[in-house]
Structure 1
Amino acid sequence: MVRLLIAVCAAAAAVGTSAPAAAAAPVARAACPDPGPGQLRCLTTYTPGATRALADGPVGWGADDLASAYRLPAGAGPDTVVGISIAYDAPNLEADLATYRAQYGLPPCTTANGCFRKVNQQGAAAPLPTVDIGWAIESTLDVSMVSAACPSCRILVVEGNTPGFADLAETEDTAVRLGAKVVSNSYGAREGGASLAYASHYQHPGVTVVAASGDSGFTAASYPAVLAATVAVGGTSLARDPDSARGWAEWAWEYGGSGCSAYIAKPKWQHDTHCGKRTVADVSAVADSLAIHSTDVGGWLPVSGTSASAPFVAGLYGRSGRAGVAQPADLYAHASQFVDVTTGHNDPSGAGKKCGGDYLCVAGPGYDAPTGVGVPNGLSGF
């Protein structure tokens, strides 16, 4: 909160007493700044000043839209524990989650009813880490997307003291120790020796680990998504299409991450030919313009990032009843049960120029790196 107040005061001072100028259009920005060495960055983009009051309602895709687009089943599902690995504290997280769930008619998920739990990286309810508004927006997005995917799942949020490799690795272990069968990670860093030293913390027998593929388009593969034991989730853009049988159109999100690892050996279940090592991503879901409610920035706002698609997919694993059993290889074995995304690219500089029009950054029939095997079509693929 202190960081936010400083920014607001600085902006006010810059205005001065001159005659008012025409207001500039709000500009989207990353919720979390580029990290320093040994740190990871949350993968959420939002637009300051684009919030709406509670009475005005959401802007962006909501839980009902996602249920329609991905043909999610009606009725209650299992109460799988979905872990959220995150940095810093989000003080209004439970209240914002309550607002989101009430808006979309989802059952309450609270500390009191045992559905919601928030702990520090050692697993204790207190003391919690310091507050960071950017990471708080990320936390709010995470719990909202898990809720949209699996309203019956229990949510365990484990907050690291910092976004450092070691602290977030500990949150992963703590989430597993406290019963999570699937753990979502909405952060990333360029793969390399320093990050890969913590790879073992993202591999636990009987647990499905999910991570965002990144928000920088086709580039160096993102850790921890690049790990062979991790389900790497890419991003798409979504639109209603009443003329189609599905009722929706979907294409590769322009900023969704994909990459070819420089370090991780090719898993035996990956058979694409233009990357000799691990290719990211494995699967995808919408990452563009999701509605959340954040008290920290003033209400409802649309956010984007593969840090939306990753917890959504984590929630689908929880709802499928196969969390902990399912691993990345299963997605490829069940590829026909996903909706293949065949259009779009994740090269903001041009339509696939960055990879020469290759499947590594351009969506097409079958597997491609921006969207993986495709997007969910119910729960059968999980």
Structure 2
Amino acid sequence: MRRNLSPTAVAASLAAAALALATPLAQAAPSSSHGVTTVRSCALPTHKDVMACKALKVTGGTVGSANAERSLTAAAAPSGYGPASLQSAYKLPSATAGSGQTVAIVDAYDDPKAESDLAAYRSQYGLPACTTANGCFKKVGQSGTSKLPRANSGWAEEISLDLDMVSAACPNCKILLVEATSASMTNLGTGVNTAVSLGAKYVSNSYGGGESSSDTSYDTTYFNHPGVAITVSSGDGGYGVEYPAASRYVTAVGGTSLSSASNSRGWSESVWSGAGSGCSGYDAKPSWQTDSGCARRTVADVSAVADPATGVAVYDTYGSDTGWEVFGGTSASSPLIAAVYALAGAPSSGSTPSSFPYAHTSSLNDVTSGSNGSCSPAYLCAGGAGYDGPSGLGTPNGVAAFTG
């Protein structure tokens, strides 16, 4: 979509908003490189303050990650990146870290197969069992009780993706799944509060919607939890800002294309064309964010793999799904980053975990190429040295950037 703004209109907008110019000139679509086609697990929201999940299911083509896991594990494995690939790409201490930590996943509606599908995923990759019986897995409704919402097959795909990505990055972590009654920001936000009240220090949110004047109120009601790392997907529609990624209390997680490479790292990354980014219209800029081209909150902070063309393996059997599939979207990167926070250890009391990466930029992989559209200033939509919108400060290189 192209927007033609006259100089007068731009000037008026800047004066009214007191923002630096960050006008989207082109809206990128989710990646379809290498002939890969996708569908959204959740329909785009049609009402204000209603969220959509950010999972993209691969429906055709051959993903670049098709054989990656097999080459690392020397064993039969589904198509798409699995635990060995992700742990290698981001140098995660997954074999030893994370024990005793609980990562919460907040999604809308119920996935009746969540626990059994999680068991299949973990069994496939030789991860320790994570069940209700052994105390590793717990599923509750948005108020924390056993009363669950109605089932929804699209959000069930999202739930499977989230659970599998936490498992891949942090096999020793416990997982709390909080299922909101609906996809309204009020219900999902209530789920965030419930997750924190039940003791989770890491809360992943793989959903988003358009910004609104209510966002600053949502910030204080649902996301202001000092000492808790709350991650949120930046979006899958290319350049443009979504909420709650724009909240100044969360870590906004962008997306990359991840490929094996013959360099010292063994991997390379570029900005994924679908990753959300930009300058918030409502949320104040946090003190730890110092980029000069946006007077308010800039999205994103950090990133991880999200391109469906270099997608991750997921096991889901609810609805019409029959088992192993490949997914992408910033729905993959948000739970990955939440699990990395968990590997790094509990945030200090009263801290702001979203600020941690800004104090440890040398412990991240800088993403310097690729873009998600056209914009001004250019860093809001294009990868480059140092901070940029779509990839933030970069991707995990171990866990040091997520401590504090």
Same fold judged by TM-score > 0.5? yes
User: Retained in 2: the 8 A contact 1:50–1:301?
Assistant: no
How high is the sequence identity, in percent, across the aligned residues?
47
> What per-residue deviation string (whole Å, max 9, x for no partner) do you get for residues 182-229 of structure 1?
11100001111134432221111321111111111111x211111111
User: Retained in 1: the 8 A contact 2:110–2:150?
Assistant: yes
User: Retained in 1: the 8 A contact 2:81–2:312?
Assistant: yes
Q: In structure 2, give the amino acid aligned to 1:134.
A: G
User: Retained in 1: the 8 A contact 2:215–2:247?
Assistant: no
> What per-residue deviation string (whole Å, max 9, x for no partner) do you get for residues 109-148 of structure 1?
10010000000111112x3111111100000011111111
Q: CA deviation at 1:36?
A: 2.7
Query: Is residue 327 of structure 2 the alignment partner of residue 303 of structure 1?
Result: yes
Aligned ranges for residues 76-155 of structure 1 at < 5 Å? 76-77=96-97, 78-125=99-146, 127-155=147-175
What is aligned with 2:186? 166
What is aligned with 1:331? 357
What is aligned with 2:226? 205
Local SS of the residue matching 2:378 = coil
Find the partner of 2:287 among 252, 268, 278.
268
- Distance in 1 separating the partners of 2:94 and 2:297: 36
Greater mean deviation of Cα atoms: 266-275 or 111-120: 266-275
- Distance in 2 separating the partners of 1:367 and 1:294: 35
User: Retained in 1: the 8 A contact 2:219–2:248?
Assistant: no
**Structure 2 residue runs without a partner (length 5+):** 1-34, 67-74
> What per-residue deviation string (whole Å, max 9, x for no partner) do you get for residues 152-179 of structure 1?
1110000011001111111011111111
Greater mean deviation of Cα atoms: 286-295 or 191-200: 191-200
Local SS of the residue matching 1:101 = helix
What is aligned with 1:43? 54
- Distance in 2 separating the partners of 1:47 and 1:284: 20
Q: In structure 1, give the amino acid aligned to 2:141.
A: N
- Distance in 2 separating the partners of 1:330 and 1:47: 33
- Distance in 1 separating the partners of 2:125 and 2:58: 23
Q: In structure 1, give the amino acid aligned to 2:57.
A: Y
User: Retained in 2: the 8 A contact 1:237–1:252?
Assistant: yes
- Distance in 2 separating the partners of 1:27 and 1:39: 26
> What per-residue deviation string (whole Å, max 9, x for no partner) do you get for residues 327-346 of structure 1?
11121111111011111111
**Structure 1 residue runs without a partner (length 5+):** 1-24, 348-353
- Distance in 2 separating the partners of 1:130 and 1:229: 30
Q: CA deviation at 1:252?
A: 0.5
Q: CA deviation at 1:47?
A: 3.2
- Distance in 1 separating the partners of 2:167 and 2:94: 14
User: Retained in 1: the 8 A contact 2:90–2:398?
Assistant: yes
Query: Is residue 213 of structure 2 the alignment partner of residue 193 of structure 1?
Result: yes
User: Retained in 1: the 8 A contact 2:100–2:173?
Assistant: yes
- Distance in 2 separating the partners of 1:226 and 1:356: 19
Q: May I ask how many residue pairs the two structures share in their alignment?
A: 347
Go from structure 1 to structure 2 and tell me whether the alpha carbon gap of 1:119 and 1:286 turns closer, same or farther (over 3 Å shift): same
Query: Is residue 377 of structure 2 the alignment partner of residue 321 of structure 1?
Result: no
- Distance in 2 separating the partners of 1:171 and 1:313: 19
> What per-residue deviation string (whole Å, max 9, x for no partner) do you get for residues 35-88 of structure 1?
132310000111347899xx9841111111001101112533232111111100
Q: In structure 2, give the amino acid aligned to 1:332.
A: Y
Query: Is residue 281 of structure 2 the alignment partner of residue 255 of structure 1?
Result: no
What is aligned with 2:256? 236
Greater mean deviation of Cα atoms: 42-51 or 157-166: 42-51
Local SS of the residue matching 2:214 = helix
- Distance in 1 separating the partners of 2:87 and 2:360: 21
- Distance in 2 separating the partners of 1:124 and 1:152: 25
Local SS of the residue matching 2:387 = coil
User: What is the CA RMSD across the aligned residues, in angstroms?
Assistant: 2.0
User: Retained in 2: the 8 A contact 1:83–1:180?
Assistant: yes
Q: TM-score, normalised by structure 2?
A: 0.82
Query: Is residue 314 of structure 2 the alignment partner of residue 292 of structure 1?
Result: yes
Query: Is residue 54 of structure 2 the alignment partner of residue 34 of structure 1?
Result: no
Q: CA deviation at 1:364?
A: 0.5
Q: In structure 2, give the amino acid aligned to 1:294.
A: D
- Distance in 2 separating the partners of 1:74 and 1:370: 26
Query: Is residue 375 of structure 2 the alignment partner of residue 346 of structure 1?
Result: no
- Distance in 2 separating the partners of 1:162 and 1:49: 30
Q: CA deviation at 1:323?
A: 3.9
Local SS of the residue matching 2:270 = strand
